[in-house]
Structure 1
Amino acid sequence: MTFDYPAAIARAQEAALAYYNGDEPTMTDAEYDQLLAEIMQHEVDYPNEKVDHGLFTAVAAGSAVAADVPHPSPMLSLDKVTDESDILKFLARIAEAAPDAADSRVSVQPKLDGMAIRARYEDAKLVQVVTRGDGRSGEDVTARVLRDNIEIAHLPRYLPTSAPVSFEVRGELLMSHDDFLASNANRVAAGKASFANPRNATAGTVRADKLEYDVQLTFVTYEHDGIPADAESQFLFADDLLNYGGGAHATGTAAPALVLEAIDLFGSDRATFDYPTDGVVLKATSPRVRNVLGETSRAPRWAVAYKYEAQTGETTIRDILVEVGRTGNLSFTAVFDPVLVDGSTISRASLHNVDLIADKDIRIGSKAIVYKANDIIPQVLSVTNGPDTTPWVPPTEDADGFPYEYAGKFLRSTNPADSVAALITYAASRDVLDIDTLGRSVADAMVESGLVSDLADLFEVSFNQLESLPFGDGVFGETRASKLYWNIAAAKEQPLNRVITALGIRKTGRTFGRRLAAHFRSLDALLEAMPEDLQQVEGIAAGRAEVIYSGVQHNRQVIRRLIELGVTSTADEAVSAGAPLAGMTVVVTGSTKGTKLEAYGRNEMNELIEKNGGKSSGSVSKNTSLLVAGEGAGSKLTKAEQLGVETISPDEFAERLGL
C-alpha cells in the first residue's frame, strides 16, 4: 500500500492538537511515535515531496495552539534519545561543553506526563499562569486555574514570605494517581463521562469553560529562579522525586554508569510511581554549559528525554474469571479489552485474591490502568468507576454446592474432586508430565468416576478402565483410551524435575522443580529433607522451605507409591564441569520457528540449558554470558549488543549442544 504522506501529516497534527488540548486521544503514544517515524522515513526516501509541517521542529508538533502571552524566554520541547548509545553521546556532549568538572553535572528527573505551565508570583501572590503553547507564547489560564473548586498541591496562591519579590516557576501541572482517582470520582458523580487518563484529565480541567465538580491537581517545578528561601518548602521540585544516588549525577569518569543506573532503577519502579510518567529527563545543571550548548528552534541542546517502552496501558475490565488452582485455591483473572503494553498485547491480568479486588474496587466495566509487574506478569494498577459499572461480588460456593472457605487472604475450594481434577490437569500439562489427551474434561471424568483420587492413582489406571470411563454422552472409547494409556505410561519416564513439579506442592512450580531435582537428585532424598536442608536450595528461604516441607510430607504416601509404580525417582548424572554451557547464564529470546529449536517450549528450553550446565535467565544483564536470538529478538538483542554479550542464532545454539 502506498504511503499517503499528506494524510499522515494531517493525522499527526490532529493527534498532537488533541494531546495538547486534553481532548480524547486519537491514537496511543506508541502509534504516534510510529507515525512520525514513517513520515520521517518517507522524507528521507522522497526529499522532493517534503513540506514544512513543523512536526519535528515546533512545540505541539506544528499544530495550531492558543498562544497570546509571550514567554520571557522560550518554553521548549525536548529532543528524544532512544537507547544507551544516544544517552552516552549526550553525556559526552555535556562533558565536552563543561569548562571544568564542576560544570559537568546532569540531573535525572522523571519525564512527567501533564501540562507544561509557567506561573508568575508578585509580592508573594500567584498572579499569572500561562500554558506552554507553541513554546514562544502561551495561553493565559489564570482565571481557570484559580477557580474555587480546583485545588493544586505545591502551587500556592499565597506564599508565607514577606519578601517583596517577583519570580516565576516553570513545571508540569498534572494529576497524581490519587488526584486522578478522586477527581474522576467527583466528575462521574456529577454525571460526566470518565476521563481517559490523568494527562487528559489535567488538560481537560484547565480547558473547561465550566467546572461543576471538585478537582485535585499537583504542580511539579523543574525550572525556577528567585524563590525566596522561606517559600521553597511550598514547592515540589522534580529533582527531589528520584532518589537514586541523589537527584544530580556527576558526568566525570564514572558518571555515565551512575546515570544509566538511575535510568534502570527508575524503569523498574515507574509502574508504581505516584505521578504519570513514561521516561526520564536528563539536564545539564550548569548555566555555563547551557549557554555554550544553546538551543534549536524547538528544543534545548543541554537536555534530552529518554522514553521507556510503554509499561502501562488503558483499557476496560469486561469480566473477572474464577478458577480453582491445582492446590484448591481460587484464582481470579481480570479480562479486559486487548491493550499494547511493553511491546506485547495483553488482555488478562491476575488479581491474586478477593482483598485486592475489593481494595482497588475493581468492577465489571471499570476503566483500568494495567501494567507488567517485573516486565512479565500483567497486573491492574488502578481503576476508575463510572455509573455504568457493576460491582463484583466474590462467589460463596461452587456449582456442586460446596462452600468456599478462607485460608488467610485466599478463598479455597472445599470440594476435593474439584481440586484433585485441577491437580491432575496441571500434572498432565505440556511443561510438566506432557500427557497428551488428558485435559480438564478428562480429568474431571476420572475424578467424578472415582478412578483417580491423587496423582499416584493416575499411573494405576488400566486400559479397560479408560475405555469404559463415562465421558460426555457415552464412554471414553477404545481409540482415545489407547492413546491416553500409552501417554500415561510414557509419562513415567519424564525427568525427576517434572515428577516433583507434578506433585503440585505450593511454592514449587517448574523452576523449583528443577532446582529441587538438581539438589536432592532423588525422591527418597526429598522425602528425608528437613526444612533446613531445603534452605540449601537456591531461592528457598525459611518461609518457602516450611511450606515445601509440609507439602512433601503431606504427599508422602503418594510419593512412595509413585516410586513403587516405576515413575522416575532419580535424576540423571550430575552435569560435568566440561559441559557445553558450564558456568554460563543464557537468555533465549525471539521466535525459534523454522529452526532446530522449534520443538522446544519455554520450560523445555530451560531444561535443555540446565542439562548442559548452564543457568537460564529471562533478562539480559551484565551477568549474561550468551544470548540466543531468534527472529524478532527486539530490545533484548539491542541490550546484548550494547553490553557486548555473545549472541548466536537458534541453529548455532543447537549445533553447539550437538542437537
Structure 2
Amino acid sequence: MTGGKLQVLATRGNGETGSDITHNAPYIRGLPMTIPYHGKVVVRGEAVMSYADFKRVNARFPEEEQYRNPRNLANATVKLYDSNLLKNRPVAFVAFRLVAMEGLPGSFHKQLSVLNTLGFNVVEHTTCPASVLADTLETYTRMAESYPYPVDGLVVAANDAAYADEQPGTGKFPNKLSGYALKWADETEETVLRDIEWSASRTGLLNPIAVFDPVELEGTTVSRATLHNVSYVLEKDLKAGDRITVYKANKIIPAVDENLDADGAFSKGGVSLMQAYARYLLPMKCPVCGANTSLFESNGTLFLKCLNEDCAAKKIGALVHYAERDCVNIAGLSESKVTALVNRGFLKGFVDLYRLGQYRDEIIAMDGFGEKSYAQLQKAVQASRAPSFVPFIHALGIPNIGKGQAKLLRNWLGEMYPDTAYMDSFLDAAAHGVDFTVIDGFGSVMDKSLKEWLCQNMQMLTELLMELEVTEKPSGNVLSAISGKTFVVTGKVTHFANRDEIRAKIETFGGRTAGSVSKNTDFLINNDVESTSGKNRKAKELGIPIISEEEFLSMY
C-alpha cells in the first residue's frame, strides 16, 4: 500500500514469483482498500474460507469438480480472472505479519496492533512469558476445533523483533525466533483395509469409501473414510488387505494417510485399466440398481458413474436432499426411510411425498415404521407444505443452483416484482426467457443450468406446486437498521427455531451474515451478552455491538 491506497495484491507463488490478483482485492473480506496511513506498507497474510462457506460454495460444483478442503478452494478463488465470481465465494484475508513501514514497531505484538488499527483482519494472537509458553500452546490447541476455518498449527516468535532477527539459526530454521511454525502432528493409526464400498450419489457418481478395522482417533472410534474418486484409489494403490494409516484431517474428518503396502503398480503402467477393476474393487455394476458403470475423466481426475438415468440412488439422494433442514425440512425423513419407501414403489419423486396417505396401511406395516412413526412422518410432511422461496429452490437440486444462487434470485425478484410472490414472478420471468445473468453474481453456467432444468422438469414442478403454498412475497419494508449490515449469530436462541432461521430473516431484510467476527461485522447476536466466548471477546475488542434476539427483533 502506498499513499493510503492498496497498490498491489499478489500471491506468494513459489516464494520468488507469484500471481498479481489486485483485481480481486475489493471482494476479499478483511482487506481494506484504503488505510489511514500514507507511507508505504507491506503486509503478509493468508486467504481463508470458513467450513460453512466451503460446504455451501463447494456444493455448487459438479461432484467431479469439487474441492477437497476449504484451503484449496480459497486458494483457487483468489486467483480467478473473473472478479464477479468472488462475490459468491466468501474469502477473507487474515493478516499475520507487518513486513515493512516507516517507523516499524519493535515488537511483533505492536506490529499486529498497528495492522488492526489500519483496518486489517488480524490473526488471533497473544503474548506470554516463556515460563507459560507450553500452557499457552495447549490452550490454543484446544481451541483449534472451534475456529470457523481450518487451522493446522501455531507460530511462536520472540516479541522483540530486533532481538529475534539477531539470533543465530540453522539452515533449516534461519530465524526461528522470528516465527517458528509448529504444525500439529496428526494422530495416525495403522489398520487394515478390508473393503472399498461404492456409494451412489444423487448425481449418479459412485463415490469410494474405505472400510477398515476400527481404530481410535482423536477420542472417537472410526472404521470408514472417504476416498474421494477413482484417481485417489489408484494413486494410493489401495487394495483389500493392505496395511494403511489413517488420521482425522483438521482433527475432524477421517482420511487415509498412507498405504504401507503400496507398490505403485498402476502408476508404473504395470496394471491396465481393465485389470484395475479387479485389483482396486471397482464395480462394473451399480451397487444400487445393477446397471452398468462407466469411467470418465474430468480435469485430469477419474470418476465412476452409474449409466442408469432411473437409478433409485438418484431418486433417494434427491429426496433426502429435498427433505434436509435447510431445504423444505421434513423432520425425521432419514435416508433409510426414503430408501425403504422408494424400494416399495411409494416414492418416485417429490410430489409423491405429499400423497403417501394412499399407502397408509402398507407403510404402517413396514419394518421401522408403525402407526406412531407414520403419524410423525405425515405431520412433518404437512409442515413442509408452505416453504419459503430460497429453501424451496435449494431443495429442488437444480445443478449449479444452491442456496446462494436462490438468494440472488430472490433479491433480484424482490426488486423487479415488489408486489408479486417470489415463486410467481420467478416462473413468469422464466417463461419470458429472462436472461438471469443480469443478476450480479449469477453467471452464464448457472443461467444455462437453471433453464435446462426448468425445460426438463416443468411438468413435475407444476404438479409439485399444486401440493404446496410457496407464497412468500417481498416484505416491501427493507429497513436501514438491517439492510446492508453484516451480522454474526452465536449461542442459544429462544425466539427462533434455530440460528439458520435468524440468518434467513436477516437476509430477507437485506442484511448479510458471516460465520466469524471481524472489523466488517456490524452486530453480534448473542442472548448471553456477558459471555466470555471467543466471538464476544472479539466483538468487544473491535467495539462491535453485542445484541440479544429481543434487540434484533426490534430492528424490523
Same fold, judged at TM 0.5 (above): yes
Which residue does the alignment assign to 1:468?
362
- Identify the residue that residue 539 of structure 2 maps to in structure 1: 640
State the Cα distance separating 1:463 from its structure 2 match. 1.9
CA distance in 2, matches of 1:271, 1:490: 37
Which residue number corresponds to residue 145 of structure 1?
none
Counterpart in the other structure of 1:501: 394
Identify the match of residue 383 of structure 1 among 257, 278, 281.
Answer: 257
Measured after TM superposition, the shift of residue 437 of structure 1 is 3.9
User: What do residues 496-517 of structure 1 show as CA deviations (whole Å, max 9, x unaligned)?
Assistant: 2222122112233334344433
Q: Deviations over 1:416-471 (max 9, x none)?
A: 22211221122122332222342223322332233332212322x15232332386
Q: CA separation in 2, counterparts of 1:246 and 1:466? A: 65
Pick the structure with more strand per residue: 1
Normalising by structure 1, what TM-score? 0.48
Residue 210 (structure 1) aligns with: none
1:596 and 2:494 are equivalent in the alignment: yes
1:587 match: 488
- Cα 1:385–1:574, aligned 2, differ >3 Å: closer, same or farther? same
Any idea what the Cα deviations from partners look like across 1:320-358, whole Å, max 9, x if unmatched?
A: 6643333333345568866569xx999987654322443
Match of 2:293 among 401, 404, 416: 404
1:314 is matched with which residue?
187
Identity of aligned residues (%): 23
Q: Is 1:549 equivalent to 2:400 in the alignment?
A: no
Aligned mate of 2:513, from 616, 628, 647: 616
* Structure 1 residue matching 2:494: 3-state secondary structure: coil
Asked whether the 8 Å contact 1:405–1:412 carries over to 2, the reply is yes
SS at match of 1:453: coil
Partner amino acid for 1:327? T
Shift of 1:588: 1.9
Of 367, 378, 389, the residue aligned with 2:245 is 367
- 1:267-302 CA-partner distances (Å, limit 9, x unpaired): 99x989xxx964364787768x978x99xxxxxx99
The whole-number CA distance in structure 1 between the counterparts of 2:367 and 2:165 is: 79
Alpha-carbon displacement from aligned partner over 1:359-386 (angstroms, at most 9, x marks no partner): 45567753356545xx9x9585x82332
C-alpha separation in 2, matches of 1:586 and 1:337 = 41
Question: In 1, distance between residues paired with 2:343 and 2:545?
Answer: 53
State the one-letter code of the partner of 1:510. K
Who is 1:451 aligned against? 346
- Looking at structure 2, the residues matched to 348 and 616 of structure 1 have their Cα atoms a distance apart, in angstroms, of 34
Match of 1:418 in 2: 313
Rounded to whole Å, the distance in 1 between the matches of 2:433 and 2:229 is 27
Contact 1:109–1:280 (Cα < 8 Å) also in 2: no
Q: C-alpha separation between the residues in 1 aligned to 2:42 and 2:160?
A: 4
The 8 Å contact of residues 156 and 177 in structure 2, kept in 1 or not, is answered as no
Give the 3 Å change call, closer, same or farther, for CA 386–346 of structure 1 in structure 2: closer
How far apart, in 2, do the equivalents of 1:625 and 1:513 lie?
24
- Give the aligned residue type for 1:574: S
Amino acid at match of 1:499: F
Q: Is the 8 A contact 1:313 1:369 kept in 2?
A: yes
In structure 2, give the amino acid aligned to 1:386.
L
After superposition, give the CA deviation of every residue in 1:142-174 in whole Å (9 maximum; x if it has no partner): xxxxxxxxxxxxxxxxxxxxxxxxxxxxxxxxx
In the alignment, is the contact (CA less than 8 A) between 1:321 and 1:334 conserved in 2?
A: yes
Q: Distance in 1 between matches of 2:550 and 2:181?
A: 36
- Say which of 465, 468, 476 aligns to 1:563: 465
Amino acid at match of 2:186: G
Choose from 504, 509, 519 the match for 1:607: 504
Residues 508 and 314 (structure 1), Cα distance of their counterparts in 2 relative to 1, 3 Å cut: farther
Q: CA separation in 1, counterparts of 2:409 and 2:254?
A: 29
Measure how far apart 1:625 and its partner are. 1.2
The amino acid across from 1:491 in the alignment is S
The 8 Å contact of residues 106 and 251 in structure 1, kept in 2 or not, is answered as no
The aligned residue for residue 553 of structure 2 is: 657
Matched, 1:430 2:325: yes
8 Å Cα contact 2:539-2:546 kept in structure 1: yes
Relative to structure 1, the CA distance from residue 247 to residue 620 in structure 2 (aligned partners, 3 Å threshold; closer, same or farther) is closer
> Which of 218, 224, 234 is matched with 1:358 structurally?
234
* Counterparts of 2:303 and 2:465, CA distance in 1: 33
Taking the TM superposition and a 5 Å limit, the aligned residue runs for 1:65-214 are none
List per-residue Cα deviations over 1:170-218 (Å, max 9, x = no partner).
xxxxxxxxxxxxxxxxxxxxxxxxxxxxxxxxxxxxxxxxxxxxxxxxx
**Aligned amino acid, residue 292 of structure 2:** P
Write the mapping of 1:281-296 to structure 2, written as runs, cut at 5 A: 281=157
Provide the residue aligned with 2:201 in structure 1: 325
Q: Distance in 2 between matches of 1:348 and 1:643?
A: 43
Relative to structure 1, the CA distance from residue 362 to residue 306 in structure 2 (aligned partners, 3 Å threshold; closer, same or farther) is farther
Task: Specify the SS of the correspondent of 1:540.
Answer: coil
Opposite residue 401 of structure 1, the aligned amino acid is: G
User: What residue ranges of structure 2 are gaps of 5+ in the alignment?
Assistant: 1-38, 47-94, 106-110, 125-143, 169-174, 265-278, 414-420
Which of 522, 525, 549 aligns to 1:625? It is 522
Q: Distance in 2 between matches of 1:347 and 1:526?
A: 46
Q: For the Cα contact (< 8 Å) 1:584–1:615, is it kept in 2?
A: yes
Contact 1:445-1:470 at 8 Å conserved across structures: no
Helix, strand or coil: the match of 1:432?
A: coil
Amino acid at match of 1:556: M
What are the residue-to-residue correspondences of 1:39-78 with 2, within 5 Å? Answer: none
- Residue 141 (structure 2) pairs with residue 252 (structure 1): no
Distance of 1:399 and 1:629 partners within structure 2: 46
In 1: Cα distance, 2:158 partner to 2:447 partner: 45
> Are the counterparts in 1 of residues 44 and 96 from structure 2 also a CA contact under 8 Å?
no
Residue identity opposite 1:314 in structure 2 = E
RMSD: 5.2
Residues 637/347 of structure 1: CA separation in 2 closer, same or farther (3 Å cut): farther
TM-score of the aligned structures, taking structure 2 as reference length: 0.56
Question: Amino acid of the residue matched to residue 201 of structure 2?
Answer: G
In structure 2, distance between residues paired with 1:547 and 1:394: 31
Contact 1:106–1:284 (8 Å) recurs in 2: no
Q: Distance in 2 between matches of 1:251 and 1:362?
A: 56
Aligned to 1:90: none
Would you say the 8 A contact 1:587–1:624 is kept in 2?
yes
Q: For structure 1, which runs of at least 5 residues remain unmatched after alignment?
A: 1-100, 111-243, 295-300
1:599 & 1:446 partners in 2: Cα distance? 29
Q: What does 1:481-492 align with in structure 2 at a 5 Å threshold?
A: 481-492=374-385
